[in-house]
């Protein structure tokens, strides 16, 4: 019965996405709204019981790994070599710039109202991360092509790594301050490099198999087997090696696909991505639907000044951080002007980081827990709807949007 509920929810999301697309808006907005409406905070078609089932979690992890192929198949050395330091510097300016701007803003506010200022740095750590799936969904749906798209796709991978490093370093330091213990610092590099190692370890032999496989059906079978194996290893590591399930499956999928993409010919890679696109389309719908499920629309009514400040200063950090880095490194003028607009989607990553922060602070700083949950929950709902529209506008202003 639960499986039927989930399948029905996917069908509704697909239909709503089509309706939204007729309004010249990204289909992702329909999938996201469907998740909110059908989630446990509204109609509960996708309820807490379903979300808590192991089969549901396994399915989502596998599909997140599959979505990672959108990033990894673009990380061919020949394609990204021309960006070099410019890509790395721009990633650092927009991510660390966001951390600095958000942390400073809330440091000043919390200092004035008597709230522990370490909470400001947690807000900064949550804010710097970007959820790549929404922007990549727009890339996939509208077949965007140009300097902004070519910069965004590899940046999505680098941004994930910087986000994980900064957030987990911050939360480890705060945990030690609050409780004298908490997450060990050695977990920070593990969180970054273990998904990359898993993906690469499976992706390299998959690449050699793909080179030898000539039939299209066989190629797709090898690819799906690689995704399943990568996901399985990730889930086993989550269960037996990690203190809690923290590994990023999209990062694993990115590393897996980057590994095989650099081993096969350009013609072979083009054929692989073309054959995989229908599966990728379904995976995107389900991943974005799941992104909306935990969002509570009631949070909009409770949103206060902290939520407003969080949304605004995060947008300032992302936009001007990206613009500063792109201008300093001489990237394309469109990248300078519009890349920051495509980096605003945030909710999936922010909710994961929020859950981790809450678990760390729940025993010794309960007053801070309510502030984090209320602010980020409301910001996730409000920002995500606005950010999807703004991201599409960024591609449109850059002249990279191909209307369907």
User: Residue 404 pLDDT more than 70?
Assistant: no
Determine the pLDDT at residue 38: 93
Contact by Cβ (8 Å): 27, 21: yes
Distance CA 45, CA 280 (A): 24
Q: Other CB atoms closer than 10 Å to residue 214's CB: what's the count?
A: 8
Determine the pLDDT at residue 161: 76
Backbone angles phi, psi at 263, to 5 degrees: -105, -25
Determine the pLDDT at residue 72: 83
User: Residue 178 pLDDT more than 60?
Assistant: yes
Encoding tokens for residue 291? 């992104």
Domain ranges, residue 350: 2-397
Determine the pLDDT at residue 21: 82
Report yes or no on 280 lying in a domain: yes
Give the residue with greater pLDDT, 267 vs 184.
Answer: 267
Question: What is the value of pTM for the model shown?
Answer: 0.75
Report yes or no on 402 lying in a domain: no
Report yes or no on 403 lying in a domain: no
Give me the number of domains the chain comprises.
1
Determine the pLDDT at residue 74: 73
Report yes or no on 285 lying in a domain: yes
pLDDT grade for 185, boundaries at 50, 70 and 90: low
Determine the pLDDT at residue 347: 65
Report yes or no on 75 lying in a domain: yes
Residues contacting residue 111 through CB under 8 Å, at least 6 positions apart: 117
Q: What is the CA radius of gyration of the chain?
A: 20
Range with the largest mean pLDDT of 2-11, 98-107, 264-273, 276-285: 98-107
Report yes or no on 360 lying in a domain: yes
Mean pLDDT, the chain, as a whole number? 86
Determine the pLDDT at residue 96: 95
Report yes or no on 404 lying in a domain: no
Indicate if the alpha-carbon torsion angle 268, 272, 273, 278 is positive or negative. Answer: positive
Q: What does the buried/exposed string (b/e) look like for 55-90 if buried means 16 or more CB atoms within 10 Å of the residue's CB? A: ebeebbbbbbbbbbbbbbbbbbeebbeebeebbbbb
Q: Which CATH number belongs to the domain containing residue 303 in this structure?
A: 1.20.1530.20
Tens of pLDDT, residues 336-347: 999 999 998 876
- ∠ CA 23-25-28 to the nearest 5 degrees? 125
User: Residue 233 pLDDT more than 90?
Assistant: yes
Q: Which residue from 152, 154, 182, 153 is spatially nearest to 170, judged by alpha carbons?
A: 182
Report yes or no on 20 lying in a domain: yes
Tens of pLDDT, residues 126-167: 998 887 778 888 888 888 989 999 888 888 778 877 887 888
Backbone angles phi, psi at 331, to 5 degrees: -70, 165
């Amino acid at each position: 019965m639960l499986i039927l509920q989930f399948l029905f929810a996917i069908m509704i999301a697909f239909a709503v996405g089509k309706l939204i697309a007729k309004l010249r808006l990204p289909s992702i907005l329909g999938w996201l709204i469907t998740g909110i409406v059908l989630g446990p905070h509204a109609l509960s078609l996708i309820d807490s019981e379903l979300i808590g089932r192991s089969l549901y979690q396994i399915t989502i992890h596998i599909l997140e790994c599959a979505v990672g192929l959108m990033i990894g198949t673009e990380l061919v050395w020949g394609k990204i070599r021309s960006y070099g330091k410019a890509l790395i510097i721009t990633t650092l300016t927009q991510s660390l710039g966001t951390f600095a701007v958000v942390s400073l803003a809330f440091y000043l506010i919390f200092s004035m109202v008597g709230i522990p200022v370490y909470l400001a740095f947690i807000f900064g750590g949550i804010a710097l991360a970007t959820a790549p799936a929404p922007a990549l969904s727009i890339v996939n749906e509208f077949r965007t092509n140009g300097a902004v798209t070519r910069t965004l796709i590899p940046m999505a991978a680098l941004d994930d790594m910087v986000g994980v490093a900064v957030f987990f370093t911050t939360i480890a330091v705060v945990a030690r301050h609050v409780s004298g213990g908490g997450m060990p610092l050695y977990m920070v590099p593990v969180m970054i490099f273990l998904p990359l190692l898993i993906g690469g370890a499976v992706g390299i032999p998959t690449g050699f198999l793909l080179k030898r496989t000539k039939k299209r059906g066989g190629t797709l079978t090898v690819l799906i087997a690689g995704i399943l194996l990568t996901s399985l290893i990730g889930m086993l590591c989550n269960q037996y090696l990690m203190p809690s399930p923290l590994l990023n499956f999209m990062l694993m999928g990115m590393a897996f696909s980057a590994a095989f993409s650099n081993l096969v010919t350009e013609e072979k890679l083009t054929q692989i991505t073309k054959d995989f696109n229908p599966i990728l389309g379904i995976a995107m719908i389900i991943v974005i639907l799941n992104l909306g499920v935990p969002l509570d629309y009631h949070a909009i009514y409770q949103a206060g000044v902290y939520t407003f400040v969080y949304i605004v200063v995060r947008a300032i950090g992302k936009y001007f951080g990206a613009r500063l880095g792109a201008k300093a490194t001489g990237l394309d003028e469109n990248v300078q002007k519009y890349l920051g607009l495509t980096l605003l989607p945030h909710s999936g990553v922010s909710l994961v980081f929020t859950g981790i922060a809450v678990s760390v602070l729940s025993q010794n700083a309960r007053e801070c827990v309510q502030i984090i949950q209320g602010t980020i929950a409301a910001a996730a709902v409000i920002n995500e709807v606005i950010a999807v529209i703004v991201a599409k506008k960024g591609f449109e202003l850059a002249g990279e949007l191909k209307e369907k």
